[in-house]
Structure formats: C-alpha cells, structure tokens
Amino acid sequence: MSEPKDPAAPLADWLRARYGEAIPAVAAQNDTLRSMARHRTMRHYLDRPVDPALVRTLCAVALAAPSKSDLQQADIVIVEDAGQRAALAALLPDNPWARAAPAFLVFCGNNRRQRRVHELRGHGFANDHLDAFFNAAVEAGIVLGTFVAAAESLGLATCPISAIRNHADEVAKVLTLPPHVFPVAGLCVGWPSGFTAMTPRLPLAATIHTDRHDDTALDAHIAEYDARRDAEKPLRARRRDDLFGAHQPYTWSEDKARQYAQPERTGWGAFVRRIGFRLD
C-alpha cells in the first residue's frame, strides 16, 4: 500500500500506508497529526542554510517536552563552528549526510545539573545508580523526537545520528562535555532535496497492547512485516553477505539480525562509567 502522493491526504491514508491496515482515524483533519504520521528520516539536503534563529526556536520548542520529575535533564549542543563540524564528520564516514547537512546538533543527557543542585542545597544524592543515567538518556530521546516533529512540521528534513556514540570519547572532547553529560544522538537538519519514501512500521497488533502485553503472534507479525516492507521499501544495502550468505529476499528481520550479530559500540558502557555514572 504505497503512500499518498498528496501531502494533504487524510490522516487515515497516511496511517494505512505506514501500517498496512485500515485505522479509523479520528481528528482526521489535524495538521499536527498528519505531519507526524508522514514522518520520514531524510539524508539529502538542499545547499541552503537553515536560519540559526529557526534552529534555536526549534530547540526551545523541543525542550518544552515533558520532563521526568521536572528534572530537565536534556541538553542540545548546536554545532556551528566549521572546525568542530569537520571533526565530528571525520568520525562518521558511513554517515556522509552529517558533513553535508546545513545544521548539526547533538542531543545530550545531562545528570550533572541534578548533582549540582544537590551540592547547592546540601542534600546528598542517594540515587547514584542506573536510573540516574537512564532518566537523562530517556529525556534526551524525548527532546530529540520532539525536535524532529517540530522541524518536520515546517517542512525541514532531519536525520538522527546515533553513530556518534561509536566515538563517544572523541565527541565528548570536541564538544567539551563534562562528567555526567553524554551524547545520545546527533541530528542533521536541512531543507529536503529529492524524495524519500516513508518507512512502513510493524503492524500495530505487535506494538499496541490493551491491558495485557501479548506477543503470542509475534512471529507471524514479523513475517507479515518482512513481506510488506520488502514490497513497499525494500532494503537496498545488504550486510556482510560474505559472512551470512546471499539470502533472497533480504528482509527487515534478516537485516536487523545481521546487524546485531556483529559487536557494535562495545565501549559505550565503559565510557558511561568513565564520565562518572554507576550503572548498578
């Protein structure tokens, strides 16, 4: 079920294209919902700057997202300096869009402020365990997602870059991140060039549960998604046929299993501990 040609098509049409099933959409004329339902990551941008004032406005909107216990544990580093942009891009040869994007931001979790508040108020921090890291990481993710939704509502294109975490020490150095502040993802921002197809998602029966979590039909859902995804947006780049063979078709589940059959980012835990977190 290919996506509508008309960006102003009804919300239900976008949802049907995304999930391969009819979803009775209430609030069908809501522009915010339609913009969010049309989401897609885009990696090619016009050679046209994004006004720094607009980037700052979008940051302000994104940081208005909900905050766990009102702790406000997300930071955004807007990388404007050409030298720093180049240093980050050099770490990301597999993501050339990070170099080409007119604007580049890094979304960070920040548990340093909370610790400073404890020092200022003279109360010990009695929660120096995994939750301290987890809360800040979740918050950075929420702010990132909110930024993307806000940017797309204006017609901007974005691409998150978690690959920066493959080089966390170097990124922390380039951005002078202090202890207890860590990068969650970069974000390319620009005006879109060309068309990128929307990525279908797993059927909602796999991801929405009512009252009780139920994944008894998971294997069938994955098989259905593999087939639908292959028909709608086949994966073009195959991972390591030399190791895993040239199976046809190359499905989503084959790609994900191949991706995580190889060690990735194994130094991340050590980095997080090095910057001061206890993860017990």
Ligand X SMILES: Cc1cc2nc3c(=O)[nH]c(=O)nc-3n(C[C@H](O)[C@H](O)[C@H](O)COP(=O)(O)O)c2cc1C
Q: At closest approach, how far in Å is the CB of 154 from ligand X?
A: 17
Residue 17 in the binding site for ligand X (CB under 6 A): no
Among 4, 9, 33, 41, binds ligand X (CB under 6 A): 41
Are 188 and 167 within 8 A, CB to CB?
no
Residue 185 in the binding site for ligand X (CB under 6 A): yes
Residue 166 in the binding site for ligand X (CB under 6 A): no
In 3D, which of 232, 227, 219 has the Cα closest to residue 249? 227
Contact code string over 220-259 relative to ligand X, x by CB under 6 A: ----------------------------------------
Among 20, 102, 109, 160, binds ligand X (CB under 6 A): 160
Among 17, 159, 174, 181, binds ligand X (CB under 6 A): 159
Tokens read off for 41: 């990551």
Task: Please provide the DSSP assignment of 72-115 as one string.
Answer: --EEEEE---HHHHHHHHHT-TT-THHHH-SEEEEEEEE-HHHH
Candidates 39-47, 59-67, 68-76, 205-213: pick the segment binding ligand X (CB under 6 A).
Answer: 39-47
Q: At closest approach, how far in Å is the CB of 161 from ligand X?
A: 4
Among 35, 73, 95, 146, binds ligand X (CB under 6 A): 95
Pairing mode, strands 74-78 and 103-110: antiparallel
In 3D, which of 39, 2, 49, 23 has the Cα closest to residue 159? 39
What is the phi-psi region of residue 155: left when phi exceeds 0, alpha when psi lies from -120 to 50, beta otherwise? left
Round to whole Å and give the CA distance between 143 and 146. 5
Candidates 49-57, 157-165, 241-249, 255-263: pick the segment binding ligand X (CB under 6 A).
Answer: 157-165
Return residues touching ligand X (CB under 6 A).
39-41, 95, 159-163, 185, 199
